[in-house]
Structure 1
Amino acid sequence: MHNSVQYPIGIPGQKWTKQDVQQWRETTSVKRTYQHDVLPKIEALRATLDVEQYGALSYDTERFPLFALKTKSWCADKPTILVTGGVHGYETSGVHGALQFAKDNAQDFEDEFNIVIVPCVSPWGYETINRWNPNAVDPNRSFYANSPAEESANVMALVEQLGVPILAHIDLHETTDSDESEFRPALAARDGLDYFEDSVPDGFYLVGNTENPAEAFQTAIIKSVEKVTHIAPPDNEGKIIGSAVVQHGVINYPLKKLSLCTGMTDCMYSTTTEVYPDSPKVNEQECNDAQVAAILGAIHYLQKHA
């Protein structure tokens, strides 16, 4: 449905100028801090995981160092699982679900797998509760060569430096009410397009890969998560956020075409989680638990089938 509400920045029908981006950036503010919320949790894991700094954001290198967590018994002969969170910094359970898994579960699987966890890809977005980086660029549409998002470029460089193939990639996200109230209208305004209103699904869902859907892998994750939280139903057209539901709680995207995080490797198994934190049926801890359940469902499947 077309929405006539005009975003307050930019001229309708015209892409944003540098001045528009600057005006947008000036509307942002720090609402929580990476240094307080995230870095201490990473530091506390040094006894059980290898903590490696893989870069820093140029916006403020002291404030935004970037860290990855790796299982200690790393071996190039073992299959490698990549977990990413906070590609969209405002999606809170992506960050804290990744950290919860790192603290409570990662060690349990290090004899079978190498596991690398990047808990907060976009710390500026985390602090400002934003989907974009300060340049109004979406990191999760920027996983390609010569990326305009340094958040994405840093993660791609990290994965390349690992020097091992990635078997599976689980990218932790949320779909929030603010997607419709703020971020999609802003996107339309930035690109000089009309905004068409959509609905926010109430519940958890997954985004698989159109080119390699790995149906049984997705099913295993959904079964794991539905023990923790409810799964999003399709809308009246059999869709979730405009895409056809291909199985219970699962839609597919062309990952590489859209330059999504889970498309940055040629892994056999990939999924993007989508938790709905604004549901009255869940609380913050249950959202984190759902992210952990998704990772565990993926790993348990890989133990049997990979």
Structure 2
Amino acid sequence: MYYSYIADTKTFNVVYFGRKVIMPDMNIKFAFLGAGNIAKAIIGGLLENGLVDALDVFVYDTDNEKYKSDIMCRVNCCSSAEEAVSAADLVVFALKPSVISSAAKAIADNVENYRNKTYLSVAAAVSTDFICRCLGADVAVIRTMPNTPLLLGKGAVAVSRNMFVSDKLFSYVCRLLSGISVISVIDETLMDRIVSVNGSSPAYVYLFYKSMLDAAVSQGVPDDKASALIIQSIKGALAMIEHSGKDVSTLIKDVSSPGGTTLAALSVFEEKKFASTVCEAMLACTKRAEEMAQEIEKGE
């Protein structure tokens, strides 16, 4: 049973879809250029949830060792990018941003019907316009920003598109992604900013967890005991945000008795400007994403 979020492609809102992802029969074949962790997470999730057929997935990576994973052994591993792309309708650039330009230009040079395909990027700071320019054509491009919890089927993916992607195809891709993650459809002008919201944010949580764990251990609490309690406390707090129906300020107040222990801790956070530090960190993340986008454009 899957609980998914489906994008309303006309308003860029995210709408609760229901209990199970129902896929239309579009007979689409997929090419993945790159077989790294994100590619494996997407392919594995799609196969595990029965959203695509393994025979409809074609993969190419310059490192043939990556073909030896259990997931890759189930799909069509190709000897060249051209072979994978030629067989597919939707081409996924699961590559580092610096490699996408050369990969796209190779497709334009070697694949006869490349203009009729749809392209999807999972790379940060790579715009749909950039991919079109590298391909030398106005083609349908979907831009996504996933995050690493996708590896466990717990990802959060931001999605946008250019004007050449049809509503029908975009809805189909959103349904696919919603079968393996929570998705949010946004305007592409926000994609560089969204990196700080979901792309990099798992690292913020890891840092907060580690800081709590180190503080607990420094007070003599056994590492394993503290870890279990911290992890569940974080999970529980997030569940309260999602399901309690209360706003965050109220939830904080509910835990903070006057003169109590929680208020003592929160006072230190306030004194050390915790909220503004988080904001500054996210702005720094966004600034770097925008710089990367400019660097990619210049290196075209």
Q: Per the shorter chain, which TM-score range?
A: under 0.3
Q: Which has the bigger relative contact order, CA under 8 A and spacing at least 6?
A: 1
Q: Compare CA radii of gyration and give the structure with the larger one.
A: 2
More helix, by proportion: 2
